[in-house]
């Protein structure tokens, strides 16, 4: 019922003050009920109030103090929930960046956003409302028992025995609800992921006339989620009925026993009044706990999902923060291999390549040949399970993440443009860049005239991911941002896919020029993009099966020659159409 991992992430002092404020409110309530019971007893025995002024004074003081503590409770509830939201969202964001966008453990963007928004909101109710109420119920039950035991022990014991019944019911329900909640949360996230994927690919679905079919799939998923929601609500309503029976039954039992004791003279009229007045104070917190539990159950399920994500294995890095040489001159792979935990076969195997400064190296291969795995190994996102990768004859495995990120950069068609201005997106590459430097990189990628034609120039606003730019303009702006960073090692992974020929040629010109003074690795499916490369790597089934200059490979190779002929035939077919 209590997840101790929460207290490792969040400062629990606000929670402690929240519970103490609730306890202080209870003590003032007991003082008020004691005063009222004493005055009523005196009134029944003497036909007059003992001290009306004192009674009114107590009512006023209790009213003021309870209002004060109600405000404090609101403050501490808000503070504790805010601390939880900030702490969890910060932890999830840090984890997401540590895992990286291409990590095999990374969650889909939709599911991650659902966890960070809905999941954390649900967890907030569990942490800031349910847990304080749970602690308060335990403390308040003991306090009320001690007060009532002074008047009659048997009815007080009856209350104390009934007290744990609601928590026991809650624990039993949790056992049953865990399966229902997991199914509910899985159906919810699956529906969100499916909807997001279909929405993002709507134009493709329309083009292939598959939108109606996908609509049916989404409708089916929505119906599954509706049934999961109804099952959850049914379980909650049934448990509310059980808790109501326990609450009202327990209060009725204690009052009945108190009346029985009063009839045989073993309890005073004041004791009877105290049982009647405090029975509600005894069970109302328990009843509120039950109500909060149903709201918090989603938070309990979300916490499991969130902690499972936060406990995912991260890429391991070394501690070396500086290269022995100032610049990166050479990268060498010796017998490098990699296999995923779930697979016995290698995704990359026996890779022996050398990348040198001033050399334009390109990699080609069909889908699934291992190009992306090679990129992740060279960028440190994946750790090779065999062989070694050297930077200037130093093992890459000893480098810190900051050192790798300082000297290398991966640019692909998933690189992101934020919904701010052109200037702010460029400055992400180099925060200290001057305006002259910004215009210089825009000139290199042939975007200078376009930006100058805009009314706000560099301060032209972009929509999310540069949707108000063409595909070619977007990729060129991403390339301009990369140029500002001035790295030693650039990896361009399918950066020219899906853009116009003009933009593609501009990008290739910049990359060729960049390769004169940096290490450049260019990944592509299309051969005409790599014919001007200095060195070409051909990948097949996770291995570099051939390497050399494009001219040599066209005449002497097997894989490259076959691949070249296949693409040539495909291009002829497309041209004829």
pLDDT value at position 325?
A: 63
Report the DSSP beta bridge partners of residue 259.
none
Answer with the residue of higher pLDDT: 301 or 72: 72
Q: What is the pLDDT of residue 47?
A: 67
Closest CA to 459 of 476, 475, 435, 443: 435
Picking from 210-219, 237-246, 513-522, which range would have the lowest pLDDT averaged per residue? 237-246
Average pLDDT, the chain: 81
Mean pLDDT of 304-315: 79
Q: Return the biggest CA–CA distance within the chain.
A: 119
Q: What is the reported pLDDT for 83?
A: 84
What are the pLDDT digits (tens) for 226-235? 888 888 788 7
Q: Can you tell me the distance from the alpha carbon of 80 to that of 83, in angstroms, rounded to the nearest whole number?
A: 5
Residue 424 pLDDT exceeds 80: yes
Tally of CB atoms within 10 A around 554: 16
Say whether pLDDT at 262 is over 90. no
* pLDDT per residue as tens digits for the range 149-186: 888 888 888 777 777 777 777 677 767 777 777 788 78
Q: Which of 45-49, 159-163, 285-289, 534-538 has the highest mean pLDDT?
A: 534-538
| pLDDT value at residue 575 | 60
For the stretch 37-76, pLDDT in tens is 888 888 877 767 777 888 889 889 989 999 999 999 888 8
Among 404-408, 417-421, 446-450, the minimum mean pLDDT is found in: 404-408
Residue count of the chain:
577
Whether 252 shows a pLDDT value over 60: the answer reads: yes
Percent of the chain at pLDDT above 90? 4
pLDDT band of 24, cuts 50, 70, 90: very high
Question: Do the Cβ atoms of 358 and 304 come closer than 8 Å?
Answer: no
User: Which CATH number describes the domain made up of 5-310?
Assistant: 1.20.1560.10
401-429: average pLDDT:
85
Buried b (16+ CB within 10 A) or exposed e, 26-60: bebbbebbbbbbbbbbeeeeeeeeeeeeebeebee
Q: What is the mean pLDDT of residues 512-525?
A: 86
Report the pLDDT value the prediction gives residue 487, as an integer from 0 to 100.
85
Is the pLDDT higher at 70 or at 573?
70
Residue 577 has pLDDT above 60, yes or no: no
122 compared with 25, residue with greater pLDDT: 25
- Asked if 336 and 330 touch (Cβ cutoff 8 Å), the reply is no
Q: For residue 570, what pLDDT is reported? A: 64
Domain ranges of the chain: 5-310, 330-417+482-576
Q: Are 519 and 356 in contact (CB under 8 A)?
A: yes
The region of weakest confidence among 8-22, 34-48, 343-357, 457-471 is 343-357
**Look-up of token digits 């598959």:** 210
Question: What is the average per-residue pLDDT within 77-87?
Answer: 85
Q: Which two tokens stand for residue 8?
A: 């490792």
Long-range contacts of 139-144 (CB under 8 A, 24+ apart): 139/19, 139/23, 140/22, 140/23, 140/26, 140/281, 140/282, 140/285, 141/282, 141/286, 143/23, 143/26, 143/27, 143/30, 144/26, 144/30, 144/278, 144/281, 144/282
Report the pLDDT value the prediction gives residue 530, as an integer from 0 to 100. Answer: 79
We find that the CATH architecture of domain 330-417+482-576 is 3-Layer(aba) Sandwich (3.40)
Q: Is the pLDDT of residue 102 over 60?
A: no
Q: Residue 283: what pLDDT? A: 74
User: Could you tell me the pTM of the whole model?
Assistant: 0.66
* The pLDDT of residue 68: 93
Strands 360-364 and 535-540: parallel
Q: Give the pLDDT of residue 64.
A: 93
Encode pLDDT of 471-504 as tens digits: 888 888 998 998 988 888 899 888 887 778 888 8
Would you state the pLDDT for residue 152? 83
Name the residue with higher pLDDT: 340 or 139.
139
Instruction: Give the per-residue pLDDT at 187.
Output: 84
pLDDT for position 63: 92
- Closest to 371 (Cα-Cα) out of 331, 338, 406, 325: 338
- Is the per-residue pLDDT at 307 higher than 70? yes
What is the mean predicted confidence (pLDDT) over 105-134?
A: 79
Average pLDDT over residues 81-90: 84
Which is more confident, 139 or 4? 139
Backbone φ, ψ for residue 349 (5° rounding): -150, 135
């Amino acid at each position: 019922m209590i997840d101790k991992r929460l207290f490792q992430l969040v400062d629990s002092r606000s929670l402690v003050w929240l519970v103490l404020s609730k306890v202080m409110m209870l003590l003032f309530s007991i003082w008020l009920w004691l005063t009222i019971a004493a005055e009523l007893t005196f009134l029944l025995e003497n036909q007059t109030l003992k001290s009306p002024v004192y009674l009114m004074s107590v009512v006023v003081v209790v009213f003021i103090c309870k209002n004060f503590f109600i405000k404090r409770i609101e403050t501490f509830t808000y503070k504790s929930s805010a601390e939880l939201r900030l702490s969890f969202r910060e932890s999830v964001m840090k984890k997401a960046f540590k895992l990286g966008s291409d990590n095999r453990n990374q969650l889909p963007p939709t599911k991650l956003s659902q966890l960070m928004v809905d999941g954390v909101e649900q967890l907030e109710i569990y942490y800031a409302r349910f847990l304080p109420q749970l602690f308060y119920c335990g403390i308040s039950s003991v306090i009320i028992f001690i007060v009532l035991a002074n008047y009659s022990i048997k009815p007080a014991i009856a209350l104390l025995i009934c007290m744990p019944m609601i928590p026991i019911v809650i624990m039993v329900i949790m056992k049953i609800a865990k399966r229902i909640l997991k199914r509910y949360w899985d159906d919810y996230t699956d529906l969100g992921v499916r909807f997001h994927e279909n929405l993002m690919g709507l134009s493709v679905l329309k083009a292939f006339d598959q939108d109606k079919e996908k609509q049916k799939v989404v409708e089916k998923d929505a119906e599954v989620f509706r049934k999961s929601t109804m099952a959850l609500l049914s379980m909650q309503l049934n448990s509310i009925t059980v808790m109501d029976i326990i609450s009202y039954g327990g209060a009725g039992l204690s009052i009945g026993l108190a009346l029985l004791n009063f009839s045989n003279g073993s309890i005073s009229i004041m004791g009877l009044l105290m049982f009647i007045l405090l029975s509600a104070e005894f069970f109302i917190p328990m009843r509120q706990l039950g109500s909060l539990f149903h709201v918090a159950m989603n938070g309990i399920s979300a916490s499991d999902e969130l902690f499972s994500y936060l406990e995912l294995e991260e890429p391991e890095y070394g501690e070396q923060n500086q290269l022995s040489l100032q610049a990166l001159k050479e990268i060498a792979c010796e017998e490098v291999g990699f296999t995923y935990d779930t697979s016995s076969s290698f995704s990359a195997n026996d890779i022996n390549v050398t990348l040198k400064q001033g050399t334009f190296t390109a990699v080609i291969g069909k889908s699934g040949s291992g190009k992306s795995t090679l990129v992740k190994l060279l960028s440190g996102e994946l750790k090779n399970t065999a062989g070694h990768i050297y930077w200037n004859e130093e093992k890459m495995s000893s480098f810190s993440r900051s050192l790798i990120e300082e000297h290398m950069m991966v640019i692909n068609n998933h690189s992101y443009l934020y919904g701010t201005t052109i200037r702010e997106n460029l400055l992400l590459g180099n925060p200290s860049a001057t305006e002259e430097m910004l215009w210089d990189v825009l000139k290199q990628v042939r975007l200078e005239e376009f930006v100058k034609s805009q009314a706000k120039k560099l301060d032209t606003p972009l929509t999310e991911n540069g949707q108000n730019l063409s595909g070619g303009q977007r990729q060129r702006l991403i390339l301009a941002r990369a140029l500002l960073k001035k790295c030693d090692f650039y990896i361009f992974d399918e950066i020219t896919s899906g853009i116009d020929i003009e933009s593609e040629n501009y990008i290739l010109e910049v990359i060729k020029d960049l390769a004169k003074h940096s290490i450049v690795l260019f990944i592509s499916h299309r051969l005409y993009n790599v014919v001007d490369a200095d060195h070409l790597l051909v990948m097949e089934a996770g291995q570099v099966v051939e390497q050399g200059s494009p001219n040599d490979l066209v005449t002497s190779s097997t894989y490259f020659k076959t691949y070249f002929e296949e693409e040539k035939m495909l291009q002829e077919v497309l041209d004829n159409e």
